[in-house]
Amino acid sequence: MAANVPKIKFNNGEEIPAVGLGTWQSSADDVKNAVEHALKEGYRHIDCAWGYGNEQHVGEGIRASGVPRSEIFITSKLWSTWHSRVEEALDQTLANLGTDYLDLYLIHWPVPLNPKGNHPAFPLLPDGKRDVDHSWHLKDTWKQMEAVLKKGKVKSIGVSNFSKMKLEEILPSAEIVPAVDQLELHVYNPQHELVKYLKSKGITPQAYSPLGSTKSTLLTDADVVEIANKHNLQPADVLLGYLLAKEMVVLPKSVTPSRITSNLSGAIRALETLTKADVERLDGLAAAGKQNRFITPPWPIELGFDNWPKLL
């Protein structure tokens, strides 16, 4: 069991284990086994979402592990068709996971979709574009997030995929500042300016797709491999340790037991091993021509991110 998983303190005093298991695109059986294995190996943080369609199987994995609920940090996310029905969506997530509270609940994307459209999760217009609910305002989604926090159903609330522009739609009327902004953050997409802004507001950045997601090109990057070899680490360890060194939460996903184990222990080893010069070198990769985003769903509105593909 990996010891000494670092924790990060939120602006509300709650603490989150800095390494969490990702669960996107993990099938039912795989995710149950992955979660059980991860918890037995020392993970204490699982990143979930209603939209992943596998929360029930995450819950089975948690129970199979024998680790008490109170020792586990569970995050889930409000899918876009539910922005006007936060408590109802949260109740579904709680029932799926088999728990009566979440440690962290996030707005998954800053884009409300039509709740009465032609699909429960991905409603489309006749022209094939996502059916955005232009009548709904994000600040009202945030009010409902604040309400479920006040009811005690979640311990912390936050956002995901919010640029500075989108955060500015909710902050002026927010009673509670988001604890977290979960973003695509890795060596090819470090978003230095946005991270600086988040830190100035006391919002913790969480790094999703820290390994470059599926079919990753980060794991074979020449600079990453060279740094890994120099320290006798794996490339994945370097990618994770780099983000931990920058005080971000990392969410590596794997359904492969050996990788689940090594991602946790390797991330911690890399955090202890990487030098300031290594971190500075990795910080510069994107600006040196390697900038790349891997997760760019076809939202038909401006999200306010740098380096997002031009609107359709």
Ligand X SMILES: O=C[C@H](O)[C@@H](O)[C@@H](O)[C@H](O)C(=O)O
Ligand Y SMILES: NC(=O)C1=CN([C@@H]2O[C@H](COP(=O)(O)OP(=O)(O)OC[C@H]3O[C@@H](n4cnc5c(N)ncnc54)[C@H](OP(=O)(O)O)[C@@H]3O)[C@@H](O)[C@H]2O)C=CC1
Q: Which residues are at the interface with ligand Y (CB under 6 A)?
A: 22-24, 47, 108, 160-161, 182, 208-214, 216, 219, 236, 251-256, 259, 262-263, 295
Judge residue 152's burial from the number of C-beta atoms within 10 Å of its C-beta, 0-12 exposed, 13-18 middle, 19 or more buried.
exposed
Query: Which one of ligand X, ligand Y, none interacts with residue 259, CB within 5 to 8 A by kind?
Result: ligand Y
Residue 119 is assigned to a ligand binding site: no
- Does 78 participate in binding ligand X (rule CB under 6 A)? no
Query: Which one of ligand Y, ligand X, none interacts with residue 51, CB within 5 to 8 A by kind?
Result: ligand X
From residue 65, alpha-carbon distances to 33, 58, 62, 110, 209 in Å are: 9, 11, 5, 34, 25
Shortest Cβ 193–ligand X spacing (Å)? 22
Query: Which one of ligand Y, ligand X, none interacts with residue 297, CB within 5 to 8 A by kind?
Result: ligand X
Residue (24 or 105) nearer to ligand X, CB: 24
- Does 82 participate in binding ligand X (rule CB under 6 A)? no
Residue (22 or 61) nearer to ligand Y, CB: 22
Strand partners, 184: 208
- Does 17 participate in binding ligand X (rule CB under 6 A)? no
Looking at residue 161, its amino acid is N
**Contact mark string toward ligand X, 47..76, x via CB under 6 A:** --x-x-------------------------
Shortest Cβ 155–ligand X spacing (Å)? 21
Pairing of strands 249-250, 102-107: unpaired
Known catalytic membership, residue 43? no
Residue 93 C-beta-side C-alpha neighbours within 13 Å:
28
Catalytic residue among 52, 188, 208, 242: 52
From residue 229, alpha-carbon distances to 12, 69, 218, 265 in Å are: 40, 38, 15, 17
Q: Are 247 and 9 in contact (CB under 8 A)?
A: no
Residue (159 or 270) nearer to ligand X, CB: 159
| Packing angle, helices 86-97 and 138-150, rounded to 10 | 50
- Does 106 participate in binding ligand X (rule CB under 6 A)? no
One residue of 9, 202, 297, 302 binding ligand X per CB under 6 A: 297
Spatial neighbors of 74 by CB under 8 A, at least 6 apart, are: 45, 46, 48, 62, 97, 99, 102, 103, 104
Fill in the DSSP letter of residue 52. G
Spatial neighbors of 139 by CB under 8 A, at least 6 apart, are: 169, 170, 172, 173, 174
Query: Which one of ligand Y, ligand X, none interacts with residue 179, CB within 5 to 8 A by kind?
Result: none
Please work out the total of residues on this chain that contact ligand X, with binding judged by CB under 6 A.
5
Binding-site residue ranges for substrate? 108
Give the residue numbers marked as catalytic: 52
Catalog residues that contact ligand X under the rule CB under 6 A.
24, 49, 51, 295, 297
